[in-house]
């Protein structure tokens, strides 16, 4: 086993991915990476200035880490796009899927992946595999590939393949489906009252398909699904994450929690309760995207429980082994700075983004003409 997980703190540290403030790597976070107490880092707009600075920051994360880290970002397209131009920015996935060209969806994802890879990222928290099944949903909407499971499956799998063929790990989110909520889990805890039949036929099929297609990772939803578990959100539910996702669906990749600092969790649970509860339910990596004090508190809570509970320690070992596998499978390999202008926003990128923009515009013009 890798040196970074020889100790109990190192073992539990592999189950935490954090974020931080600023456009340079904080010394504190760098020390945690060096000691194996984080499995990597997630970057947001607050961390990203221009392309060269982002490349330097990704390289600093990699250089600081005891083992190849996971260097992650949410680059879905549309309103969830963290990287500035000249990085290729895709339209919302609803618009891309409406073109009904899975080869184009795959090519678009592959181009995003080539640019991410050049900067030093090896994990993209995309695609959204939620079905946009509730028109009152305040958070998913056009981030989804559509309102029908078939469209989400076809284009979601194409997006997964496009990313992973270019050596960027994909993440299908938010299991078992955030599309039917009427509340944003960033704000508070949503509940879904749909029955098991609806979940089986609408929300779950895209995640089953993604698992079958070999998606490297998934992300849990901070949502209570009363038909599956009346008591707790999916992130805390062993019935949903272990029994359904692992045993029934057969998913073998890494399962991330959504950010434990979101209102759906933080308004109801302290981090020292949330962290071990999510791991025991089945999460392999806990996202704690802002506060380094909370990341440390989560680590202490995991270590404390693992030190007195052999079953929990085995659960941590299982999770850490999954994380180690994808880190070794797809280590970050940033390009030389001299090549960034060619690889990010270059001619190949513009060919794809220009084609997508032209086809979206033509489709919208056609719809306007038909409606007039």
Q: What is the set of active-site residues?
A: 186, 258
Environment class of residue 321 by beta-carbon count within 10 Å: exposed (0-12), middle (13-18) or buried (19+)? middle
Q: Are 130 and 177 in contact (CB under 8 A)?
A: yes
Helix, strand, coil tally for the chain in percent (to 5): 50, 10, 35
To 5 degrees, how large is the angle CA 81–CA 87–CA 92? 35
Tell me the C-alpha to C-alpha distance, in Å, between residue 301 and each of 278, 318, 370.
12, 18, 59
To 5 degrees, how large is the angle CA 123–CA 244–CA 219? 20
Question: Could you tell me the two tokens for 197?
Answer: 């039949």
Q: What DSSP letter does each residue of 262-327 carry, written as one string?
A: SHHHHTT--HHHHHHHHHHHT-SBEEE-S-HHHHHHHHHHHHHHHHH-HHHHHHHHHHHHHHHHHH
Q: Are 76 and 126 in contact (CB under 8 A)?
A: yes
CA distance 136 to 5: 44
Cis link prior to 176 (omega < 30° from 0)?
yes
Cα end-to-end distance, the chain, whole Å:
65
Bridge-based pairing state of the strands 80-81 and 75-77: antiparallel
Environment class of residue 136 by beta-carbon count within 10 Å: exposed (0-12), middle (13-18) or buried (19+)? exposed
To 5 degrees, how large is the angle CA 127–CA 130–CA 133? 145
List the alpha helices (DSSP H) in 199-247. Answer: 205-212, 238
In a 3-state reduction of DSSP, which class is residue 125? coil
**Beta carbons within 8 Å of 228's beta carbon, 6+ residues apart:** 176, 196, 199, 234, 237, 239, 240, 244
């Amino acid at each position: 086993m890798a040196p970074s997980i020889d100790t109990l703190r190192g073992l539990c540290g592999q189950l935490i991915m954090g974020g931080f403030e600023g456009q340079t790597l904080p010394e504190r976070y760098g020390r945690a990476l060096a000691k194996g107490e984080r499995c990597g880092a997630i970057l947001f707009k607050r961390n990203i200035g221009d392309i060269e600075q982002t490349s330097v920051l990704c390289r600093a994360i990699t250089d600081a880490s005891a083992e190849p880290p996971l260097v992650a970002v949410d680059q879905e397209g549309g309103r969830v796009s963290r990287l500035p131009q000249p990085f290729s920015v895709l339209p919302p996935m609803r618009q891309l899927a409406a073109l009904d060209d899975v080869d184009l969806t795959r090519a678009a994802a592959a181009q995003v992946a080539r640019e991410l890879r050049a900067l030093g990222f090896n994990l993209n928290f995309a695609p959204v595999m939620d079905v946009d099944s509730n028109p009152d949903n305040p958070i998913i909407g056009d981030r989804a590939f559509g309102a029908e499971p078939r469209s989400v499956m076809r284009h979601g799998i194409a997006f997964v393949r496009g990313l992973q063929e270019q050596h960027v790990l994909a993440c299908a989110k938010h299991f078992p489906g955030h599309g039917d909520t009427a509340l944003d889990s960033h704000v508070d805890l949503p509940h879904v009252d749909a029955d098991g039949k609806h979940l089986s036929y609408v929300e779950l099929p895209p995640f089953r398909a993604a698992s079958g297609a070999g998606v490297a990772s998934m992300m849990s939803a901070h949502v209570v699904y009363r038909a599956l578990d009346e008591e707790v959100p999916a992130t805390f539910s062993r019935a949903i994450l272990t029994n359904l996702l692992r045993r029934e669906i057969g998913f073998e990749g890494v399962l991330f929690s959504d950010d434990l600092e979101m209102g759906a969790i933080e308004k109801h649970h302290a981090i020292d309760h949330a962290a071990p509860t999510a791991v025991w339910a089945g999460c392999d990596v806990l996202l704690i995207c802002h506060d380094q004090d909370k990341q440390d508190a989560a680590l202490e809570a995991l270590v404390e429980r693992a030190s007195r509970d052999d079953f929990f320690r085995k659960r941590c070992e299982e999770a850490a082994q999954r994380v180690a596998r994808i880190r070794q499978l797809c280590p970050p390999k940033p390009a030389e700075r001299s090549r960034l202008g060619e690889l990010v926003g270059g001619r190949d990128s513009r060919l794809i983004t220009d084609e997508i923009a032209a086809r979206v515009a033509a489709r919208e013009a056609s719809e306007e003409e038909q409606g007039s």
